[in-house]
Structure 1
Amino acid sequence: MITETHSGRVAVVTGAAGGFGTAIALELARRGADIIAVDIHSPDATVSAVRELGRKATGITADISNADAVAGITPELLDFGGRVDILVNNAGVFPFVDLFELNYAEWRRIFAINTDSQFLMATAVMRSMRESGWGRIVNLASNSLGLAVSGMVAYMAAKGAVVGFTRALATDLAPYGITVNAVCPTASRTSGGEKFIGNEVLEHVAQMQAIKRVGVASDIVGTVCFLSSDDSAFMTAQTVVCDGGLMRV
């Protein structure tokens, strides 16, 4: 039985139009949170699903890798519930790019979506959290940091930056009752995973894990919900790996 561990909280979930983002938004809603779903694509389906659970929800379509766009939506983020309690920085891309084909424009694009967006969204809501004396920021990183994956130089560098950003941000925000942690999923069967990674690779990855099945979005939601609750009040600056035991390799 799910208890309302997030009752009365206002949560922003980025990349909320599908995959991990939708799963996280729905689980937070089941646990009592109201949801602001943000995505570069319309998050209307996620918003409707949250409302069916009896929670308030709104959707914002924006490119959060762009500083002006984030500045433009910040008033809407803060007006929805009068504050923001939880930020889940889930938005990201994971393209494979041959090193000899990787140009600076693509490097910057991958960094902007995976790393810059997390900084921009955190700075958009952290003052609200400071005023409340309570806040939870959960950043999605990647278990690829512990592996050797060809064709992912920009992606792995960007996700490595997320881990460093998480630790540094946690240090600066701790005095205000705000915790910051990162979650590292494995390659998973989501719409994005199937599109960019493919089922053959997903199955291959699963066979290297201790738990030999392909990961799905629901595998990380419990960890994200824990890190965004009162139960994790003494846990900050940590990187939690949810990958079926792949990083033991």
Structure 2
Amino acid sequence: MTGTDKGPVVVTGAAGGIGLAYAHAFAKQGRLVAFCDRAERVVEVAEDAGGRASGALGVVMDVADELSVDAAFARIEEEFGMPSVLVNNAALFVDLPFSRWQDIDVETWDRVMAVNLRGPFLCARRALPGMERRGAGRIVNISSTTAHVGGHQRLHYAASKAGVIGFTRALAREVGAFGVTVNAVAPGSTQSEGVRERYPQDMLDRAVAARAIPRAAIPDDLVGAVLFLASDAASFITGQTIVVDGGHVFL
């Protein structure tokens, strides 16, 4: 099999929120899906999705840690075979406090970069050899519209997500000859459970008012773009970033 529409899928940051929506969407297509997350509850989440018998595998993985990534992919390959799709979704965002640039300490800066930028690199590096041998593969990186407009008091997050776009473009140049595409999705403000719990309503309302389509975004709004870029239908699209924000940022 050289296509990607039926091979195993790896989704990072899949214990909840947007990542869980991606993982569920692939599972509904009948795909084998590795739900990966640093949080140990990801194992229970995968069981709730049907477990191994239904093609859902929960794998504890810290994307910022090389050994953890290697061990997780080794398990996924043992259970499912070589992944044909990687969705690099894991990121630090909701739990980051709003901080002026001069108040961001080096430890926090480094941790954001480790998860949000090193993580996609480590996961892609581990997934790519199998994709290259297969002669096909899809990597979908999750960026953010903050990479385009800046993030108010979120300098570290905005910088990391801009880095994801650069990473996407550069990697796409290197692996296209092997039948592997690398693209990104840049969501706008999305009202996942964590965002609704932590953000004031007036801030969420302002995000809605700034859109051409003036309604709240939910995780399911992002699924279509990810499924498309992960499919064989997108085999001639690479190095691109699709903004999914209801018409706030126009590129």
- TM-score, normalising length: structure 1: 0.92
Within a 5 Å distance, the mapping from 1:167-186 to structure 2 comes to: 167-186=169-188
Q: Provide Cα deviations, 1:29-48, integer angstroms capped at 9, x if missing partner.
A: 11121100100112134313
Aligned partner of 1:12 in structure 2 is 10
Cα distance in structure 2, aligned partners of 1:77 and 1:122: 14
Cα distance in structure 2, aligned partners of 1:37 and 1:53: 11
Cα distance in structure 2, aligned partners of 1:182 and 1:210: 22
Amino acid corresponding to residue 206 of structure 1 in structure 2: V
- Number of aligned positions between the proteins: 245
Assess, with a 3 A threshold, how the Cα gap between structure 1 residues 246 and 239 changes in structure 2: closer, same or farther: same
The answer (yes or no) to whether the contact 2:4–2:137 under 8 Å persists in 1 is no
Q: Provide Cα deviations, 1:85-125, integer angstroms capped at 9, x if missing partner.
A: 00000011122222221011100011111111000100111
SS across alignment from 2:54:
coil
The answer (yes or no) to whether the contact 2:100–2:153 under 8 Å persists in 1 is yes
Cα distance in structure 2, aligned partners of 1:215 and 1:109: 27
SS across alignment from 1:246:
coil
Cα distance in structure 2, aligned partners of 1:170 and 1:34: 25
The answer (yes or no) to whether the contact 1:10–1:34 under 8 Å persists in 2 is yes
Displacement, 1:77?
2.3
Amino acid corresponding to residue 43 of structure 1 in structure 2: V
Aligned partner of 2:139 in structure 1 is 137
Displacement, 1:27?
0.7
Displacement, 1:146?
2.1
Within a 5 Å distance, the mapping from 1:36-115 to structure 2 comes to: 36-41=34-39, 42-51=41-50, 55-94=54-93, 95=96, 96-115=98-117
Bigger drift between 173-182 and 54-63 goes to: 54-63
Amino acid corresponding to residue 188 of structure 1 in structure 2: T
Assess, with a 3 A threshold, how the Cα gap between structure 1 residues 54 and 210 changes in structure 2: closer, same or farther: farther
SS across alignment from 2:50:
helix
Cα distance in structure 1, aligned partners of 2:128 and 2:86: 9
Cα distance in structure 2, aligned partners of 1:52 and 1:6: 22
Cα distance in structure 1, aligned partners of 2:250 and 2:112: 27
Question: Share of identical aligned residues, percent?
Answer: 33
Displacement, 1:16?
0.3
Consecutive aligned runs of 4 or more in structure 1 exceeding 4 Å deviation = none
SS across alignment from 1:43:
helix
The answer on 1:230 being equivalent to 2:232 is yes
Bigger drift between 163-172 and 46-55 goes to: 46-55
SS across alignment from 1:211:
coil
SS across alignment from 2:109:
helix
The answer (yes or no) to whether the contact 1:134–1:176 under 8 Å persists in 2 is yes
Q: Provide Cα deviations, 1:156-188, integer angstroms capped at 9, x if missing partner.
A: 110000000000111111011100000000111
Displacement, 1:80?
1.9
Q: RMSD of aligned C-alpha atoms?
A: 1.9
The answer (yes or no) to whether the contact 1:30–1:53 under 8 Å persists in 2 is no
Displacement, 1:63?
1.4
The answer (yes or no) to whether the contact 2:8–2:82 under 8 Å persists in 1 is yes
Q: For structure 1, which runs of at least 5 residues remain unmatched after alignment?
A: none
Cα distance in structure 1, aligned partners of 2:236 and 2:12: 25
Q: Provide Cα deviations, 1:36-94, integer angstroms capped at 9, x if missing partner.
A: 01001121343134327973111111211112221222211221212110000001112
Cα distance in structure 1, aligned partners of 2:120 and 2:199: 23
The answer on 1:214 being equivalent to 2:216 is yes
SS across alignment from 1:12:
strand
